[in-house]
Amino acid sequence: MRLTQRRVYILPTRAGLLFALSLVLMLIGSINYSLSLGYALTFLLAGVGVVSMLHTWRNLAHLSLRPGKADPTFAGERARFHIAVENAGRLPRTSLAIEWPGQAPVHFDVPPASQRTVEVSLLAGKRGLLRAGRFRIFTVFPLGLFYAWANVELDLSCVVYPQPEQGRVALPAAQASTGEGAAAGSGEDDFAGLRTYYPGDAPNRIAWKAAARSELLLTKQFSGAAAAELWLEYAQIPDRLGVEGRLSRLARWVLDASMAGMRYGLRVPSLEIGPAIGQAHRTRCLEALALYGIAP
């Protein structure tokens, strides 16, 4: 979306009003004391003030904004949106900011004839499709005397997975999928190594000692589940947890199973995803949980 002249509004800031007040005082002083240079200085500053309004407006006008990608996230965490801001003209745009109501603004610059991707994060309250909604792009550059802004609504949305259930939650029993024999185990026994933390990993699997040594959170991985096949079923979960509680547990299961490297499938009312492994499968399952019961 392009910020045409009409979309950009401008008003003086508090500093601008203070500046205007000082100019009035300076003018009165110049009249009272017949200070010719006082008049000149007052008028010069008045000119600077008015010109700075044009500069502030120009700093914002004729930018193009486009929605960028938004990574899925879990409910209760922050969703990160990307907005591409393009400056096709020859002027560097300095100290722009994007702000959602009630959130701290994100400041950025856009050099001439280039494009910047601005990352903003919003709290993802509940699962489903989070729409970013209207936001404001504003600037007070160059003098801070005027505030120019435009209200923008882009097609920015992000899938919010259900919050994985916390605490000790055992995976349902795996079934032997092939004729080779019983399952190798629940995948809890043999320590196989460390991998980086994914949101949703159970806290008791986090390698706290290792985390204390390095900056990264690491999760302990256990082997022994490679051959297991698992069905994660909505129907297996007791009713008392409610819809959201059951989805939470399913999400936790998906994460745990995926982490353990098991083959798993998902069954929710009206949808069945066959057993598979891998990131794409995991994403597909979580997305199904996120959008469960929500009209597309």
Partner 1 sequence: MNERDALRVRDLAWLLLSVAVVIAPHALRVPVWIAVFCAIALVLRFETGWRKKNLPGRWLLTMAALACVAGVLLSYRTLLGRDSGVALLILMASLKLLEMRRSRDIAVVVSLAYFISITNFFYTQTIATAFYTFGAVWLITATMVGLQHRVQAADVRRMIRVSGVMLWQAIPVMLILFVLFPRVQGPLWGLPQTQYSGKSGLSETMSPGSLSELSLSDEVAFRAQFEGSRPSVKQLYWRGPVMWSYDGRTWRTEPPRAAATGDARYEALGPELRYSVTLEPHDQRWLFLLDMPAKLPPGSLLTADLQVLNPRLIRNRLRYEATSVTAYRYGAQISQSDLRRALALPPDAAPRARGLARDWAMESSDPRRIVARALDYFRSQPYVYTLAPPPIEGDATDGFLFETRRGFCEHYASSFVVLMRAAGVPARVVTGYLGGEFNPLDGYLVVRQSDAHAWAEVWIAGEGWVRVDPTGVVSPQRVETGLAAAVPATDPLPLLRRTSAAWLRELRYTFDAMTNAWNQWVLAYTPERQRNFLGSIGLSNVDWQDMVIALFVATGAVLLVVALAMLRRFAAPPADPAQRIWLRFCDALAARGVTRRLHEGPRDFALRSGTQLPRLRARIERVAKLYVRLRYGAERSAALAAELKREVEAVRTA
Which of 33, 102, 168, 238 is the binder for partner 1 (CB under 8 A)? 33
Work out whether 109 is an interface residue with partner 1 (CB under 8 A): yes
Q: How far apart are the first and last CA of the chain?
A: 25
Which of 1, 10, 35, 227 is the binder for partner 1 (CB under 8 A)? 35
Q: Which stretch binds partner 1 (CB under 8 A): 46-54, 70-78, 168-176, 249-257?
A: 46-54
49 or 245: CB nearest partner 1:
49
Work out whether 142 is an interface residue with partner 1 (CB under 8 A): yes
Q: Find the shortest distance in angstroms from Cβ 145 to partner 1.
A: 8
Work out whether 99 is an interface residue with partner 1 (CB under 8 A): no
Separation between Cα atoms, residue 171 and residue 264, nearest integer Å: 11
Work out whether 140 is an interface residue with partner 1 (CB under 8 A): yes
85 or 171: CB nearest partner 1:
85
112 or 193: CB nearest partner 1:
112
Which of 143, 194, 227, 273 is the binder for partner 1 (CB under 8 A)? 143
Work out whether 82 is an interface residue with partner 1 (CB under 8 A): no
Work out whether 14 is an interface residue with partner 1 (CB under 8 A): yes
36 or 196: CB nearest partner 1:
36
Work out whether 294 is an interface residue with partner 1 (CB under 8 A): no
80 beta partners: 121
Contact indicator for 199, 219 with CB cutoff of 8 Å: no
Q: Which stretch binds partner 1 (CB under 8 A): 104-112, 150-158, 202-210, 223-231?
A: 104-112
Which of 22, 114, 151, 166 is the binder for partner 1 (CB under 8 A)? 22
Which of 37, 170, 212, 295 is the binder for partner 1 (CB under 8 A)? 37
Q: Find the shortest distance in angstroms from Cβ 187 to partner 1.
A: 43
> Which residues lie closer than 8 Å to 129 by C-beta, 6 or more apart?
157, 158, 159, 160, 290, 291, 294
Contacting residues toward partner 1, per CB under 8 A: 14-15, 18-19, 21-22, 25-26, 28-48, 50-52, 54-55, 58, 61-62, 64, 66, 84, 86, 88-91, 94-95, 97, 107-109, 112-113, 115, 140-144
